[in-house]
A and B are shown apart, each in its own frame.
Chain A
Amino acid sequence: MKMASSNLGDDDFGEKQAAEWALRHDRGITATEQDEFYAWLALDPHHSEAWAEHRWGWEELDRLAGLQTSLSAIPDPELLRPLSDRIIRPLKWVMPVAAALILGVFLWNPKEKLTAQLVDSSAPPRIETVALIEERTLSDGSVVSLNRGAEVTENYSKDERRVQLNRGEATFSVVHDASLPFIVEANGVAVRAVGTVFNVRLDASTVEVLVTEGQVRVEPQSSLGGEAGALVGASQYTIIALLPHANEPRVIGLTADEIDERLAWQPRWLDFTKAPLSAIIAKFNRSNGIQITIEGSKLADLSLSATFRSDNIEGFVRLMESNFGIQATRIGENRIILSNAE
């Protein structure tokens, strides 16, 4: 494989290669490439972070799959050509009326995504975070947090505490008991702990183990002839490829921020239906360090329907500014005052 040289200099942190690796993994890497990949990961501590971010971003774009269903079944590479380009290409406007309406609402007219009206005081606002992770307490008191879709089976015996991760991702907080090892098994890979906190993510082709407290021993798929296994300590993680000829997994150190980011799979979406601005802001203020206040009761009663990330204050404030003639005044780093622009 050729490592194309980056023209971004030293602050690049391997992001170009990370993007290239994400694309190679998507189309399927060869055995040689797999070795190169692990070598690349081990080359620089920034690489694993860049890799995680680019792989996440690549998967994130799948949310748009099927966006065209109301338009046409024929793949159109120009579906998302920016509006300014389309004007000088009038033929591109020839599309079914319904399609044009949908695209118009969704893509080009940001005002349509929020509806403002005086609040209907008879209907209580519906504010909720969408979905929750599930927490389960095992019979020894150890706690498992299951990411959505994850599934575990408890198989405890008198000699050991064995838990099968059937699918998905879970964090285990293990009660200390030196006489009863705690073993998480994910597709043949065993993660052995005594008393510790760690996260296991099972994908189609890999098992990822991240340790936040204590230490675990990761044993490769026994059926494939692995024996010793790697020790993973606090603030470290490792990826085990589920391939017959896989290399010894490498253990990679992580910073506190990187750990937070990897474990940030808790729900963060706020869904508002005809909620008054004051209630929306109260919700944001509860989950963020930055505090928003409103000036004027008329503004507080403004009613909105929208979906936001609970941590995307910037996006929320920008929308308020661009759609409702609201002025945002920033005071220091942690305070924003919203007022009517007039």
Chain B
Amino acid sequence: MPPHDPTTADWFSKEVQPLEPAFRSWLKKRFPTLGDTDDLVQESYARLLRTRRTGSIACAKAFLYVTARNLALNRLRHLRYERPENGAEMDTSHVVDDTKSIPESISHAEDLQLLVHAIQSLPDRCRQVITLRKIYGLSQKEVAEKMGISEHTVEAQGAIGLRKCIGYFRSHGYGRRVRK
């Protein structure tokens, strides 16, 4: 599934493909019960490319790992037909571990800056929850443990934060198209 335009193809071969061996072995290790991870890898690439096409991404590697983790958890849930009580929320902290790479061209990415400002505008608790979930890719359960609050509270704060972010997006003309 190579990207179609030369600029993206070049970026993909330089920034993404070198990650693949480590990415695949991480997936196999984290989600041994899923078996074939090829689908997950391809789907994660597809979402990475789709998202990059419509804007900026802070760090391709982190985005890839978070996406694959979400897809894998989703698949595990479907295998069990309903949300498991425990077990599926695996430890995915330190996904972005010792990498020293500078996030991809964020210095002039207006859109990322707007996302950051949206999070900065949130009340403290919401901001902390959204920061841990979205920037560090922690699951609800991990955030609950880290902050010493219940998963239910994490979810509720996440929903409040999301709604406020949407409000921020709207007031700054950030959307899938211009709002009038």
Contact = CB atoms under 8 A, between A and B. Distances in A.
Interface of A: 15-16, 18-20, 22-24, 26-31, 53-54, 56-70, 73, 75-82, 102, 105-107, 110, 112-114, 130-132, 134, 147-151, 167-168, 204-205, 242-245, 260-262, 264-265, 267-269, 305-309, 311-312, 314-315, 319
A307 B116 contact: no
B18 to A, nearest CB: 16
Given A65-B135, A105-B107, A307-B110, 17 more contacts: A16-B159, A22-B159, A24-B155, A28-B73, A57-B166, A63-B57, A66-B63, A66-B135, A68-B135, A70-B100, A73-B94, A73-B96, A131-B3, A131-B7, A148-B50, A265-B54, A314-B173
Interface in B114-155: 114-116, 119-121, 124, 127-132, 134-140, 146-147, 155
Contacts of A306: 108, 110
Nearest to B160: A19
| Secondary structure of the A contact surface, majority rule | mixed
A245 B163 contact: no
B100 to A, nearest CB: 7
B157 to A, nearest CB: 9
Nearest to A65: B62
Interface in B34-64: 42-43, 45-47, 49-59, 61-63
B120 A308 contact: no
Contacts of A64: 58, 112, 115-116, 119, 134-135
Contacts of A56: 176
A148 B49 contact: yes
A22 B5 CA distance: 33
B176 A261 contact: yes
A262 B176 CA distance: 8
B110 A77 contact: no
B25 interface: no
B172 interface: yes
B162 A22 contact: yes
A253 B99 CA distance: 47
Contacts of A147: 50
Contacts of A80: 116, 119-120, 127, 131, 135
Contacts of A23: 155, 158-159, 162
A297 to B, nearest CB: 25
B111 A63 contact: yes
Contact of A102 (B42, B102, B163): B102
B110 A113 contact: yes
A53 B165 CA distance: 11
Contacts of A81: 120, 124, 127
A314 B169 CA distance: 13
Nearest to A134: B4
B78 interface: yes
B106 interface: yes
A185 B73 CA distance: 25
A87 to B, nearest CB: 14
Contact of B98 (A29, A65, A73): A73
